Every structure is written in structure tokens, then in C-alpha cells.
Amino acid sequence: MSEPLALGGREFRSRLFVGTGKYRDPAEMVAAIEASGAEVVTVAVRRVDLNRANREGILHYLDPDRFFLLANTAGCYTADEAIRYARLAREAGFNPFIKLEVIGDRDTLLPDVAGLQVAARTLVQEGFQVLAYTNDDLVTALRLEDAGCAAVMPLASPIGSGLGLLNPYSIRTIKRRLSVPIIVDAGVGTASDACVTMEQGVDGILMNTALAEAQDPVLMATAMRLAVEAGRAAFLAGRMARREVAVPSSPALGMLAS
């Protein structure tokens, strides 16, 4: 239960990774992240807004000594664009990890799996630890592992949808066939989604909207922390076999005479 998650040469105690987007205010974000117990926290790379008096980036609120900053390439639609953002992120000087996204469709935010593989190969060659956000397709996941990705991050359902784990079979298959850590990224809506996802045997979950858009993000973060731990423990414990008939839990013998 307490075995750490080894990823890209690092070890993490928490299997819950959280995003920092879409919170109502920074104080609520920090409180939710603390309640989640997450060590890995994702951030995006964007232009400094020169026309605003308050130009504080996220690091004004998040202590980079306390959290492991995982920069993403969210919003990138080509391999070249994602590579450019990854290089900028690394230059910030925290770590060589990148959550690689190459988006292929504006409506569903599903990945461009061809562009993703090109970007992954280039970034691995440049020494990045690449965590590749992808769909729940086994063959793409295998190609990303071949490209040298440190982790593969298949979606549970589309980004920000909160639809939960749509295809447990695909996620189990990816986990069974790949050796690198599998971190399910996107789509988890509530604690039961997180628990069911972890019960598939994956190594962790990354979520953002499920916390940021909860009525009470701090309480939901607590629920998610417990759900990820519960799902991991249930997976390791090994569930009972499913039966189509009832089997009594109390002895059939020793009943009173009728």
C-alpha cells in the first residue's frame, strides 16, 4: 500500500497528481492541493500579461520547494509547438519533466497521436522525462513507451468532462502491456471515479477540474485522496470473484427446526 511510485528516476509517495487551473481563487487552490496530499502539481506555460498590474505567476502562491512542478504543453496543436513550450518550461529551471500534450481536436481535446509520438521522440532525445497525455489506445501507448516516455497518461474520458472511466478494459490492457508507469489523466469527476480507476491497477491519477469545479474543492480533494488510496489498496488486495448466484455468508447448518 505504501510503496512509493517510481517515475523518471524520482519517487513519489502520493499517487494523486493535481492541476492548478480553474480555481475560484489561489487560496482555495492551495488549500485543495494540501488536502489532496499531492506532491506532483501541474502548471502551464503562458505569456506574462504585460497590461495587468498583478502579473504574479502561479509560483507566487505555490512553494516550488514543497511541490514537484510538472509543466504541461496544454493548448499546443502541433509537435513543434509542444516542443517549444517544453523547452521554455525546462528553462524555468525546476526539473526536466514535461506533461506532453499535442491536441488534435478543439471540440473533444483528444490528442493528435501522430504529433504526440514525434514530439515525444524529440523531447526524450533532448533529455526530457516525458509523461505523454494520450487516448486509451493500446497501440499508441506502446509507441509512446518505445519512444522512451517516462510514463504514459491515458485519459479516463475527455479533459474537463467529468464523465469518469469510460473504458476500464482499455486502461487495464494498457497497464498490463506496458512497463512504464500508467497515470490516468483527465475525465475523473468524483471520488468513485478515482477509486474505480485505481482498482484497474494503474499507478496514479492526474486530475484538475474535478477539484477546481467541486462545490467545495478542499473537501473533494480530501475525498479524492482517500479514493485513490482506497482504490490502490483494493487493487493490491485482489477482489473476490464475481458470481451470478448468491452464496450465503452465514452457515446453512445449525438452523432451528421448522
As annotated, the active-site residues are 99
| Interaction of residue 71 with another protein, rule CB under 8 A | yes
Backbone angles phi, psi at 246, to 5 degrees: -80, 145
Residue 244 DSSP class? S
DSSP 151: E
Query: How many Cβ atoms from other residues are within 10 Å of residue 180's Cβ?
Result: 18
Give whichever of 48 and 241 is closer to another protein, judged by the CB atom. Answer: 48
Amino acid residing at 66: R
Q: How deeply is 258 buried, as exposed, middle or buried, from its count of CB atoms within 10 A (0-12, 13-18, 19+)?
A: exposed
Residues sharing a CB contact under 8 Å with residue 55, sequence separation 6 or more, in sequence order: 48, 49
Q: How many residues bind another protein (CB under 8 A)?
A: 36
Using rule CB under 8 A, residue 48 touches another protein: yes
Q: To the nearest 10°, the Cα dihedral for 56, 62, 68, 73?
A: -30
From the list 45-53, 118-126, 240-248, 250-258, the region that binds another protein by CB under 8 A is 45-53
Exactly one of 40, 69, 113, 180 binds another protein (CB under 8 A); which one?
69
The contact mask relative to another protein for 179-218 (x = CB under 8 A, - = no) is: -------x-------------------xxxx---------
Q: Of 209, 202, 204, 170, whose CA–CA distance to 186 is shortest?
A: 209
123 binds another protein (CB under 8 A): no
In the complex, least distance from residue 15 CB atom to another protein, rounded to whole angstroms: 17
Number of neighbours of residue 216 by Cβ within 10 angstroms? 12
Interface region with another protein, contact rule CB under 8 A, candidates 48-56, 139-147, 189-197, 235-243: 48-56
Examine residue 24 and tell whether it contacts another protein (CB under 8 A): no
The CA-based angle 141-145-152, given to 5 degrees, is: 55
Considering only the stretches 3-11, 69-77, 118-126, 245-253, report the one whose residues sit in contact with another protein under the rule CB under 8 A.
69-77
Q: Which is nearer to another protein, 92 or 138 (CB)?
A: 92
Q: Using the rule CB under 8 A, which residue among 10, 28, 30, 44 binds another protein?
A: 44
**In the complex, which residues of this chain contact another protein (CB under 8 A)?**
19-23, 29, 42-48, 50-51, 55, 57-59, 69, 71-72, 74, 84, 87-89, 91-92, 159-160, 186, 206-209
